[in-house]
Chain A
């Protein structure tokens, strides 16, 4: 082994998200973690930093409890809207379940019960709702021309479950098409007699189309040049546990992830007499050491717990600086 290699091996990766800002090819950036660890703050800050170096950035929240509006003190909706105070940063809030409802209602235009039965059957495939709504959103987003899209994901761990979806759907579709191959003519005969348009074949075509979209999207998501995932956590056991599980899951899905943001770090000032603060600091230190030991091949960004809420563009802008320039903690005892 050459000494240079050893050196690079020993050097910890820089504790910033600079590498993500530098990687111009990145198109999809996901920010995820357990609830309440500061995902929204982190994703907003990252979007602000990205806006400085990219042509145009879109920030999307898929969390049903929308926080972007609160973070920026500005109302966002289903359509992308410019964030006040930025030229090239837009944001939108989408509700995966809501868009799913619309999809079903839109599809239910034809008034025949058997067609609906086939649809109900199709929607019983696990994860199909999530996947289809995501696919719908991504189709929208793709038609808009943003150079980078940041996702503020919902706190549930299975946001990315739909990435396994093409395989599942493929199986399910082959089953359904077997079924409709056998009973389709019969069903169509009945439907035709009732004068309903389309029917089983149309339904199958729709599903097939969705599968193609999802398949293409998941191919893009698995490309580390296009997509990365940023894990946000706080130095506490459960958060760490969830993060480890999430990272393993992402590995299974073959999604690149090489950054962890550790939020809400306490840095009591010298001579602080706050008993809780020092006790908590000790605990956080323990987990921080574990994080650094376990994730030596990750960029681990450390952000302090501030004394104020981070709301509004200016405060977010200030906070976002810590993602690229490591925070200098005050001297400790």
Chain B
């Protein structure tokens, strides 16, 4: 039974972390990893980046060429540029489609492994006690409340336990978060002393 107790704690913390870090950040990180793998889509993303660079370079070339004095050269660059821009648009479109699909999939997986798993476990183990409380500690109606909805009387039900963990986390997490950030904030200025002091000065202003 101790495993169920810890499982709930771990799962709740994981869900909370995912929610605070933000789905977008996690998706971005996963996308980075996914596109660095040797897949078809990663090739496309690389092509896209290369094309983008080419387009920027061609634009610069076009600006640097006088359309009035060197029309032929200018028009040639323009033709290439138009073609590349069209290619780029097409590629961006297909990459975006892939990205949307990827986001949907990861979103689903994320949900299943956090909130979904929580739901499933609490449904599955709703009749099991998470742990027992010694007899006579609390009055009978509180015992009934603690075992709500379906766990045997005298035990703590999984729903109540999940609720308790969530509430504690809601209070504790911001404190830990602010501690972590303040520690990081205090450490940061140590390495680049002058930059840090400058930043502080600015903040005060």
Contacts and interface: CB of A to CB of B under 8 A. Distances in A.
B82 A294 contact: no
Given A290-B72, A293-B72, A294-B76, A248 B82 contact: yes
Interface stretch (A68-76, A153-161, A237-245): A237-245
A28 interface: no
Contacts of B79: 248
A245 to B, nearest CB: 9
Interface stretch (B63-71, B95-103, B151-159): B63-71
A287 interface: yes
Nearest to A287: B71
A294 B67 contact: no
A240 B82 contact: no
A237 B71 contact: yes
Interface in A259-296: 286-287, 290-291, 293-294
A332 to B, nearest CB: 22
Contacts of A248: 79, 82
B10 interface: no
Contacts, number: 23
B56 interface: no
B123 interface: no
A238 to B, nearest CB: 10
A290 B69 CA distance: 9
Nearest to B86: A252
Contacts of A291: 71-72
A322 B68 CA distance: 28
B81 to A, nearest CB: 11
B75 A294 contact: yes
A52 to B, nearest CB: 35
B78 interface: yes
A288 to B, nearest CB: 10
A267 B7 CA distance: 93
Contacts of B68: 237
Nearest to B68: A237
Interface string A225-243: 0000000000001001100
Contacts of A244: 71, 75, 78
Interface residues of B, number: 11
- Chain A: interface residue count, which band? 10 to 19
Tell me if B's interface is mostly helix, strand, loop or mixed.
helix
Contacts of A294: 71-72, 75-76
A328 B67 CA distance: 30
Interface string B134-165: 00000000000000000000000000000000
A290 B71 contact: yes
Contacts of A290: 70-72
Interface string B25-47: 00000000000000000000000
A35 to B, nearest CB: 20
A183 B138 CA distance: 68
B82 A241 contact: no
A250 to B, nearest CB: 13
Contacts of A241: 67, 71
A290 B70 CA distance: 7
A195 B72 CA distance: 65
Nearest to A240: B71
B82 A237 contact: no
A294 B75 CA distance: 8
A293 B69 CA distance: 13
A294 B76 CA distance: 8
Given A244-B78, A248-B79, A248-B82, A237 B72 contact: no
A240 B69 CA distance: 12
Contacts of A293: 72
A294 B72 CA distance: 5
A286 B68 CA distance: 9
A248 B69 CA distance: 21
Contacts of B78: 244
Contacts of B72: 290-291, 293-294
Contacts of B69: 286
Nearest to B69: A286
Contacts of B75: 244, 294
Interface in A293-312: 293-294
B59 to A, nearest CB: 17
12 contacts: A237-B68, A237-B71, A240-B71, A241-B71, A244-B75, A248-B79, A248-B82, A287-B71, A290-B70, A291-B72, A294-B75, A294-B76
Interface of B: 67-72, 75-76, 78-79, 82
Report, nearest first, the 7 A-B pairs whose CB atoms are least far apart. A294-B72, A290-B71, A293-B72, A290-B72, A244-B75, A237-B68, A294-B75
Given A244-B75, A248-B82, A294-B76, 10 more contacts: A237-B68, A244-B71, A244-B78, A248-B79, A287-B71, A290-B70, A290-B72, A291-B71, A294-B71, A294-B72
